[in-house]
């Protein structure tokens, strides 16, 4: 009986029903959990790996080898910052250790014994790409680099980075330290929902007096001066990873994330992707917050299906798009207003590019629970 009930529920949850008309403008913060790889490259990008996504929906606008496992250099520090914002107290004071002070590569120049807050260390990490800041953060948050790496891997799995593994907070080359362009874009889109992440990566210069820091900081990320609306995120370079760049920028009614990895002309190629998106994509409003998108009619009454947010989706000019609502055809014991009830899906050429779980607009109870049990038993 239990097995048959599960099968019945799965079947009714997959029934396609109504098509929703397109509208224009708005904002959404939903994020699709997967994507379908583009089969045809619209432009040539001189990078080993690249991707561009809409930060709000996660829809892929351009990609090249974006699922390949590769070293990612200091773009690792995006994850380091996310983990610190989740687990750390930004006002905590950290003593710079010998390990932090002697680390190789790009550094801020912190001296052994200096006392620096986690907040300041994050500015040193993201504006100056300080490997010394990365070590100090790891030790300040988790006690050691190894323990912090465990947090990085736990958190990356939690947010759905399925093809990433981290060994350090700074990204210097190690055999088991890798990610993908897609995972980096996804992590950045999630990070952009945090006000402190936005504040840090969008800062061009910060005076030490603003937060009583030990020194002032200038951002080495040139993309902030090259693309209109650019507001982050992170550069990177090692011998194995090559030159890397993760960029975020305001874009029409939304925001885009662009990632290029192992890309010597990283500024130029990022600008090229941005201009391609500008020329080829518009944003359209699929539905409005609290809009009724359909209804399911049962013997006991009707359940209205609503969206709990405005949904704005990027549409490629000349593309073939459809929007469908999948709605349940059978009522279980009851449904409460606000319960998950149905799904909105947007397709490009029959490939899913965005989905949103819809809500019940009203409550409805089964009139006769005993009858429901009897019907289910009989069907088994």
b/e map 107-120, b = 16+ CB within 10 Å: bbebeeebebbbbb
| Cβ neighbours of residue 279 closer than 8 Å, sequence gap 6 or more | none
Residue range 286-300: average pLDDT? 91
Per-residue pLDDT band for 359 (boundaries 50, 70, 90) equals: very high
The structure tokens listed for 53 are: 């996504």
pLDDT of residue 371: 52
Q: Is the pLDDT of residue 16 over 50?
A: no
pLDDT of residue 328: 87
How many alpha carbons fall within 13 Å on the CB side of residue 181? Answer: 27
pLDDT of residue 365: 84
For residue 178, count CB atoms less than 10 angstroms from its CB and return exposed for 0-12, middle for 13-18, buried for 19 or more: buried
Active site residue 77: yes
Q: Is the pLDDT of residue 334 over 90?
A: no
pLDDT of residue 40: 56
Q: Is the pLDDT of residue 2 over 90?
A: no
Predicted confidence (pLDDT) per residue in 240-257, tens digit: 999 999 999 999 989 999
Active-site residue identified among 129, 156, 248, 296:
129
From edge to edge, which strands make up the β-sheet containing 292-298? 16-19, 321-326, 340-348, 351-360, 301-306, 292-298
Between 115 and 364, the more confident residue is: 115
CA pair distance 149, 80, nearest whole angstrom: 9
Per-residue pLDDT band for 331 (boundaries 50, 70, 90) equals: confident
Indicate the range of 11-25, 196-210, 305-319 predicted with least confidence. 11-25
CA pair distance 169, 146, nearest whole angstrom: 9
Active-site residue identified among 66, 74, 106, 254:
74
Q: Is the pLDDT of residue 26 over 60?
A: no
Question: Quick check: 325 and 305 in contact, CB under 8 A?
Answer: yes
Active site residue 129: yes
Can you tell me which residue has the tokens 């490939």?
Answer: 351
pLDDT of residue 226: 97
Active site residue 144: no
Residue range 270-299: average pLDDT? 94
The structure tokens listed for 209 are: 């007096």
Active-site residue identified among 64, 77, 284, 355:
77
Residue range 188-205: average pLDDT? 97
């Amino acid at each position: 009986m239990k097995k048959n009930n599960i099968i019945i529920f799965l079947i009714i949850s997959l029934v396609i029903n109504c098509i929703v008309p397109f509208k224009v403008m708005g904002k959404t913060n939903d994020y699709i959990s997967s994507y379908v790889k583009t089969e045809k490259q619209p432009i040539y990008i001189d990078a080993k790996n690249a991707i561009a996504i809409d930060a709000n929906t996660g829809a892929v606008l351009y990609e090249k080898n974006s699922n390949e496992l590769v070293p990612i250099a200091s773009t690792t520090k995006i994850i380091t910052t996310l983990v610190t914002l989740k687990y750390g107290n930004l006002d905590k004071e950290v003593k710079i250790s010998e390990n932090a002070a002697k680390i190789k590569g790009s550094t801020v120049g912190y001296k052994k014994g200096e006392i620096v807050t986690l907040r300041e260390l994050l500015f040193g990490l993201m504006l100056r790409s300080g490997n010394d800041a990365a070590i100090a953060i790891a030790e300040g948050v988790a006690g050691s680099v190894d323990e912090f790496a465990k947090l990085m891997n736990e958190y990356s799995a939690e947010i759905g980075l399925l093809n990433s593994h981290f060994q350090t907070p700074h990204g210097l080359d190690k055999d088991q330290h890798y990610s993908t362009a897609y995972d980096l874009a996804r992590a950045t889109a999630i990070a952009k929902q945090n006000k402190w992440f936005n504040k840090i990566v969008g800062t061009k210069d910060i005076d030490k007096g603003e937060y009583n820091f030990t020194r002032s900081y200038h951002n080495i990320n040139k993309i902030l001066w090259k693309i209109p609306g650019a507001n982050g995120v992170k550069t990177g370079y090692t011998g194995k990873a090559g030159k890397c760049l993760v960029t975020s920028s305001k874009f029409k009614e939304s925001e885009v994330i662009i990632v290029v990895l192992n890309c010597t002309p990283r500024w130029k190629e990022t600008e090229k992707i941005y201009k391609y998106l500008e020329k080829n994509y518009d944003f359209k409003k699929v539905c409005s917050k609290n809009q009724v998108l359909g209804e399911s009619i049962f013997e006991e009454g009707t359940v209205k299906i609503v969206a709990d947010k405005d949904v704005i989706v990027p549409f490629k000019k000349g593309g073939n798009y459809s929007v469908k609502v999948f709605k349940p055809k059978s009522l279980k014991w009851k449904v409460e207003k606000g319960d998950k009830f149905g799904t909105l899906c947007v397709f490009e050429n029959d490939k899913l590019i965005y989905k949103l779980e819809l809500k019940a607009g009203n409550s409805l109870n089964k009139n006769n629970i005993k009858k429901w049990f009897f019907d289910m038993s009989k069907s088994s």
